[in-house]
Structure 1
């Protein structure tokens, strides 16, 4: 019997065992092959989806879509098995093989090998599935190979990405000169009654561009100006709330504390109070609802002083509902202007160096097929810039534009034009663009948030000598340069701060999302069905509407929450979507985090920003793949010590993190690149741990004491990659910062608290862009040395940062913004001739001893904005346009604004004759 058993084992079990050993040994190679195959398979699905888009027979279309669903599910399984392997491989790498002799460790080792064997079998299955599904689709619905006739030439040279973004600036606008002059006249002249002006036109005509250009030109004629993008759909209360916040922001005033709970009537009263007796202009961009005017009319007070409301809309009925409305119908561009716009986008800086006659015939054909719409022309021009350089290239491209675009050019044709640019993108950029479909229409998303989500999703790959953020920034700039993504705001040094997509682009993206399973967007008005399979989920409705949407949870990898109710949904969500990589609750009304948060072991991005949570569960320590944790909530958040187990965490963001929970273990979090704001406890032990975090790029510290400084400086000297440093000194402490590291990458420095002396190393920071001092109580600041800094663009001397009587500015050739606030001893400011020649914005606030404008301000030719807040009466009298002795020194500044401490004080000064009625029109209260 024993011999029989041995024989059986040798004949049957041993070969299977050896096969299993080989499969486990070859697993890394198999995973690498599947990873390579995934990219080509996704490209195949993209081409297969275009077959579906071109199919007109409904019966055949349904069959293609069913096959596409099977293809997508196969690609999802490929992604899943790769993720499972990475998790398993990381766990094994953490185990110490020397401990395998121990029984407990041996058991764990065997379990991990069994798991790896299971993954190996899954890989075999998925490879067979992919081959079968690919062959099955080809057999039923052949995909024509791409040729010159279908996509122009494939061998066009792709030019290196250039930082020449096609942002909409006044000198880049084409064909809107006439409309701009007309609308400017309507807004600034004419009847005294409040007047509504509506710009009406189809998508892509440039309504938003035109209205913003005009708004920027005329708002200096009004005491109050607000720009609001109207969402679709919108809640009236939220719209009024937005208006209130913008009005308060304009006058540097906090909104009422109870604004979030105000009803519609209370909000209307608050808005009316802030507009009362002021000549105002309000721009409502992209209005869809016919009854919009009924919703906001009561708030728009009419004091018969020439106030104006500007509306842009696609729907003429919106204008018809407005009373006393002036209607401007925006038309398509002329042939000549269309061609000029195409040339600008296609040739960039080489526009004037071309023999344009050679391109004219093909160019006219292209703009005709674009329907002379600016949006479509810009998209096609950006595509031509990369792919077509010679006249023959243009001719071929023009011939191959879809013939159906030549007739009945409506919104669907705009989408098709935009789809051409989408199809031209590589796979990772297509995914990056589609991600905007996870956000609501007209939503301005912060670039930092978007980039970290892209990284967590795997859209960004490592490149030599560049970190992931740099690669992702380049990808974003690529989409911007192709005119697919719009810039909403910039940082002072010209980097993109926030972005969005045009509403027509958003609609095109939503169509792609619906047909590709990329995302499902659920709200109370719109439920996108994604063929039963979806990879991502946006929740913009209450939990009561989600029962059906939570059934298909196996494939979901990312969830963004925009719902008004989240509590019940959250606990179910964490138990059901266990493979999540991105979970974003930003601004959702969330108060508690369930303990089972730790079950989301695949999670890479987790945000509770602007929620109401007070603590994180201990289970967060099990999120071993977490890279970004954002807990910048409405209040303080208790962070458990288990957070130090997150060895892959790169960004730890909070309004205040207690160092008590991180003491003695912070140094193990060596992947950290951003950490703020860390509150230092009394013993300062955690400061020594900081020195171990040599990957830090952004560090912000609070409650630094005088006896911490030596240790702190020593730790900072171990951070060669630091780009931003904020130090908040404990009240009453005086510190002496002596940093010896060159900090060659430091771009932003904020010091809040008393300094023994001005740190002399600051003036040697060659890369510094922003410098802010607050409460420094310095009697000497080396302005001459600071003035020689080569890249300084922003300088702020905030409250009590300087206690001297005079500031003398020399140099500062690149400085764009200067802020001087609450400097009680300052009585005179001198600006040398030739200094501050790039200054665009100057803020002077609450400097009680300063009775005259800075000497030399008249030489600042580029100064665009001068803000004067809470200054003494003598100062204001000196710049009164009616007789002020120094008014001539600031009359060249286009935008001068004043804010008094309160309305009563201002009106008393007006009654006393200090302000003329002319000057009062420029005053904000």
Structure 2
């Protein structure tokens, strides 16, 4: 963790202009000197990587550096915060606060000198441990893996074929009454893997009319469970979170009535959970099924009279097959490593999760006897311990490249069984400064490669896919989450406050750098039992709808001054924010649910804000003049709302532009917005989503002519309209080369639109959602580069997709179509 902190600090200090600190009596020079010290410490940490586990004194030395890094981070960011505060004062205010400011700077200088003395003491001891100071560059092997996408591994399940076949038969045959079938086993044994295999099985998809998968977890919420099921069997329903249990029960019964359905309830812990939800499922006498996975046999027997399926540990043959598949992935197994591999497997005791994690770790390292002998020794050390499984899994964490460790530990923030949005996760990583530049890749592409690397090591599991084949969601196994929480707490990286009714009783005046709260958000913020001054991130996963008070806000801006990330989720409703929220000078990421028409003015004074997520269902208004104050804004994501821009573009632009803005969703494309785009509001925009209606006639011509870097465009229509206006005035010669993805949603359909879409020279992904049409005909030569066609809820005629390589229709387009989603 200290490595990422030092990297961020060195970058901050390197960007400071020394002349800005002439009034600071030498503090600027001290900061520049500290920058050199921090870069040297970073090299030391990289060269001590992996040696902490071998030598207790090395571990103690690294811990000292972490403490120094945390203290240096607090000093520097507090100093910058005070400098920014002084810049915002009037002349009278500067005079009034001058003496106090001078004292603050003097205190900073003294503390910096103390830190430098500590660093010198650490360096004086380094020779004892045989650690040489090198250049400290990124691990070459890790860097090479980031230059390519994650290698796809065959997803065919190893082991439990007998159990899977038995379950498949029970689900599709037997009694016509509603049956509950359960799978029981300890964590890491493969319950969810088997259930997922069944859920995705084509026989199951064809046999049942409605399908739903819901993760329950130990701390369940009945309303949320039913809401999740409704969202699966009847998508695109709004306002479910505001309904009571009786209404939810009625709605679910209506959706499942007369349908043959299957529902998977994954990770059930309490008998009471089943008692609360069982009445929601109608018995249609048509062979419907419910599948429960649980660690507790009593829960399974309580839900059904049918005997549960108890999972066993892997046999030596199954263990070897799983191990070999994950280490070498089809390549030959070197004979000199087989004996070591067998010994490592023996210590995994037939637990599939341990086998996969250890195998994935070895797959990412040099295939040598030296590495495998060390791994065997490490695994053997932990045998017989109370948490032997967790310690074995921890080996994979300790062997991660330093770039990946903070990214992995961030998973400690998320609730159990939470399906994480990859877009949101990467935005958090970026705001925290975890992602470092690499070659010509964008930071987002590097972040995706980091996530791929964690998946490659089996520490993270991929979830649902985007239309382009990339990951939309991801998750982690419960045992991996336990490991993540333990390590994050031990590193003082993050506290996850979830299973407590009184957060202060657990935090006990500690100084966590980040805090994730799953309940009692307000109480946690207002707690006086712990120290918030060093907090860098506060994330809430509150499930109970609530509003926050002025006391809540005051506590934030007076005591959480160094926050970089503030994510209040969707359950905490925001109507307004006090102007003093601008004191959060460091804030780079803000996400909240807005229950009002206008974006609070206070947000526009967060000058370092990079990522803004505004959730909500109502329409919102944004002042263009104020928006232009957010010069560092990179992503403006406006949830499900329809947002209008107001102001006079011709007087404001192009004097000031949002040059850093890369993503903007969802905006109403009226005349003000069109004019703003034409005058250079966001010239470097790559992703745009607009939501329009027939009340405003518009065309893409002005957008395509002004947004030269646009890669992804989504157009949603609120009502029926004349499609000809979309491409009004657009000629084939004006179609952009960089636009690779187009999504059309809730629209009527005309052949002219399809014809024009087929002319986009580099269109790779076309997604059509909720489209009314009479028939789709692809003309000759259309869609020359189309790779993925996603058709979602189309209504109308027949859809025919010709692929020359499969059907011999060489005269038609779509010659590169690889993926078709319907």
User: TM-score if structure 2 supplies the norm length?
Assistant: 0.81
Instruction: Report Cα offsets for 1:23-55 as digits up to 9, x if no partner.
Output: 346245324224325646877999898699x99
Matched, 1:694 2:669: no
Structure 2 CA distance for partners of 1:48 and 1:219, relative to 1, 3 Å: same
Residue 581 of structure 1: how far off its partner (Å): 0.5
Structure 2 CA distance for partners of 1:733 and 1:472, relative to 1, 3 Å: same
- 3-state SS in 1 of match to 2:395: helix
Contact 2:636/2:665, CA 8 A, preserved across alignment: yes
Partner residue, 2:356: 378
Partner residue, 2:136: none
1:96-111 equivalence runs, <5 A: none
Residue 704 of structure 1: how far off its partner (Å): 9.8
Partner residue, 1:160: 145
Partner residue, 1:176: 160
Partner residue, 2:16: none
Partner residue, 1:748: none
Residue 86 of structure 1: how far off its partner (Å): 5.1
In the alignment, which of 321, 342, 355 is matched to residue 340 of structure 1? 321
Matched, 1:128 2:98: no
Instruction: Report Cα offsets for 1:846-883 as digits up to 9, x if no partner.
Output: xxxxxxxxxx9xxx9999876xxxxxxxxxxxxxxxxx
Which one is further off, 261-270 or 83-92? 83-92
In the alignment, which of 194, 200, 203 is matched to residue 187 of structure 2? 203
Partner residue, 2:712: 724
Structure 2 CA distance for partners of 1:207 and 1:837, relative to 1, 3 Å: farther
1:385-400 equivalence runs, <5 A: 385-390=363-368, 392-393=369-370, 395-400=372-377
CA distance in structure 2 between the partners assigned to 1:303 and 1:804 by the alignment: 37
Structure 2 CA distance for partners of 1:516 and 1:691, relative to 1, 3 Å: same
- 3-state SS in 2 of match to 1:443: coil
Instruction: Report Cα offsets for 1:480-500 as digits up to 9, x if no partner.
Output: 111111111111222111112
Residue 761 of structure 1: how far off its partner (Å): 4.9
Structure 2 CA distance for partners of 1:319 and 1:402, relative to 1, 3 Å: same
- 3-state SS in 1 of match to 2:262: strand
Instruction: Report Cα offsets for 1:247-284 as digits up to 9, x if no partner.
Output: 212xxx636x4x33433333333323322332221111
CA distance in structure 2 between the partners assigned to 1:570 and 1:838 by the alignment: 65
CA distance in structure 1 between the partners assigned to 2:93 and 2:507 by the alignment: 48
In structure 1, list runs of 5 or more residues that go unmatched.
1-17, 56-63, 148-153, 737-752, 840-855, 867-925
In the alignment, which of 566, 582, 592 is matched to residue 598 of structure 1? 582
Instruction: Report Cα offsets for 1:434-476 as digits up to 9, x if no partner.
Output: 1111111111221121112112112122344333222222212
Residue 818 of structure 1: how far off its partner (Å): 4.8
- 3-state SS in 1 of match to 2:637: strand
Residue 130 of structure 1: how far off its partner (Å): 4.9
CA distance in structure 2 between the partners assigned to 1:726 and 1:583 by the alignment: 28
In the alignment, which of 276, 289, 293 is matched to residue 308 of structure 1? 289
Contact 1:293/1:322, CA 8 A, preserved across alignment: yes
Residue 69 of structure 1: how far off its partner (Å): 8.9
Structure 2 CA distance for partners of 1:205 and 1:174, relative to 1, 3 Å: same
CA distance in structure 2 between the partners assigned to 1:219 and 1:732 by the alignment: 33
CA distance in structure 2 between the partners assigned to 1:620 and 1:361 by the alignment: 61
Partner residue, 1:514: 489
- 3-state SS in 1 of match to 2:447: helix
In the alignment, which of 553, 563, 566 is matched to residue 580 of structure 1? 563
In the alignment, which of 628, 639, 657 is matched to residue 644 of structure 1? 628
Partner residue, 2:378: 401
Matched, 1:539 2:549: no
Structure 2 CA distance for partners of 1:777 and 1:301, relative to 1, 3 Å: closer
In the alignment, which of 207, 222, 225 is matched to residue 221 of structure 1? 207
Contact 1:45/1:71, CA 8 A, preserved across alignment: no
Instruction: Report Cα offsets for 1:158-197 as digits up to 9, x if no partner.
Output: 85346564677643x2123222211111111122232221
Contact 2:212/2:229, CA 8 A, preserved across alignment: yes
Contact 2:576/2:600, CA 8 A, preserved across alignment: yes
Residue 73 of structure 1: how far off its partner (Å): 4.8
Residue 426 of structure 1: how far off its partner (Å): 2.9
Contact 2:775/2:799, CA 8 A, preserved across alignment: no
- 3-state SS in 2 of match to 1:160: helix
Contact 1:73/1:533, CA 8 A, preserved across alignment: no
Structure 2 CA distance for partners of 1:677 and 1:247, relative to 1, 3 Å: closer
CA distance in structure 2 between the partners assigned to 1:671 and 1:578 by the alignment: 25
Contact 2:788/2:820, CA 8 A, preserved across alignment: no
CA distance in structure 1 between the partners assigned to 2:47 and 2:80 by the alignment: 25
Partner residue, 1:61: none
- 3-state SS in 1 of match to 2:585: coil
Instruction: Report Cα offsets for 1:750-777 as digits up to 9, x if no partner.
Output: xxx5443775258774762445387576
Matched, 1:450 2:425: yes
Contact 1:287/1:312, CA 8 A, preserved across alignment: yes
CA distance in structure 2 between the partners assigned to 1:189 and 1:707 by the alignment: 55
In structure 2, list runs of 5 or more residues that go unmatched.
1-20, 133-138
Residue 221 of structure 1: how far off its partner (Å): 0.8
1:415-430 equivalence runs, <5 A: 415-430=390-405
Instruction: Report Cα offsets for 1:54-87 as digits up to 9, x if no partner.
Output: 99xxxxxxxx99x999875543221123324555
1:807-886 equivalence runs, <5 A: 815-819=787-791, 832=802, 834=804
Which one is further off, 544-553 or 360-369? 544-553
Matched, 1:35 2:13: no
User: TM-score if structure 1 supplies the norm length?
Assistant: 0.73
Partner residue, 2:652: 665
Structure 2 CA distance for partners of 1:625 and 1:358, relative to 1, 3 Å: same
Structure 2 CA distance for partners of 1:580 and 1:315, relative to 1, 3 Å: same
Contact 1:560/1:584, CA 8 A, preserved across alignment: yes
Matched, 1:471 2:458: no
Instruction: Report Cα offsets for 1:656-700 as digits up to 9, x if no partner.
Output: 443224734364222222223343554668425652533221234
Partner residue, 2:9: none
Contact 1:767/1:791, CA 8 A, preserved across alignment: yes
- 3-state SS in 2 of match to 1:590: strand
Residue 90 of structure 1: how far off its partner (Å): 7.7
Residue 216 of structure 1: how far off its partner (Å): 1.8
Structure 2 CA distance for partners of 1:677 and 1:335, relative to 1, 3 Å: same
Residue 588 of structure 1: how far off its partner (Å): 2.4
Structure 2 CA distance for partners of 1:785 and 1:607, relative to 1, 3 Å: closer
1:19-98 equivalence runs, <5 A: 23-24=26-27, 26-27=29-30, 29-36=32-39, 39=42, 73-84=67-78
Which one is further off, 179-188 or 85-94? 85-94
CA distance in structure 2 between the partners assigned to 1:320 and 1:721 by the alignment: 59
In the alignment, which of 766, 777, 786 is matched to residue 758 of structure 2? 786
In the alignment, which of 270, 275, 281 is matched to residue 262 of structure 2? 281
CA distance in structure 2 between the partners assigned to 1:679 and 1:369 by the alignment: 60
Residue 398 of structure 1: how far off its partner (Å): 4.7
- 3-state SS in 2 of match to 1:639: strand
Residue 229 of structure 1: how far off its partner (Å): 0.8
CA distance in structure 2 between the partners assigned to 1:780 and 1:306 by the alignment: 46
Residue 328 of structure 1: how far off its partner (Å): 0.9
CA distance in structure 1 between the partners assigned to 2:423 and 2:709 by the alignment: 18
Contact 2:498/2:517, CA 8 A, preserved across alignment: yes
Structure 2 CA distance for partners of 1:787 and 1:185, relative to 1, 3 Å: farther
Aligned residues between the structures:
772
CA distance in structure 1 between the partners assigned to 2:788 and 2:184 by the alignment: 37
Partner residue, 1:561: 540
Partner residue, 2:412: 437
- 3-state SS in 1 of match to 2:464: strand
Contact 1:616/1:639, CA 8 A, preserved across alignment: yes
- 3-state SS in 2 of match to 1:196: strand
In the alignment, which of 252, 259, 269 is matched to residue 271 of structure 1? 252
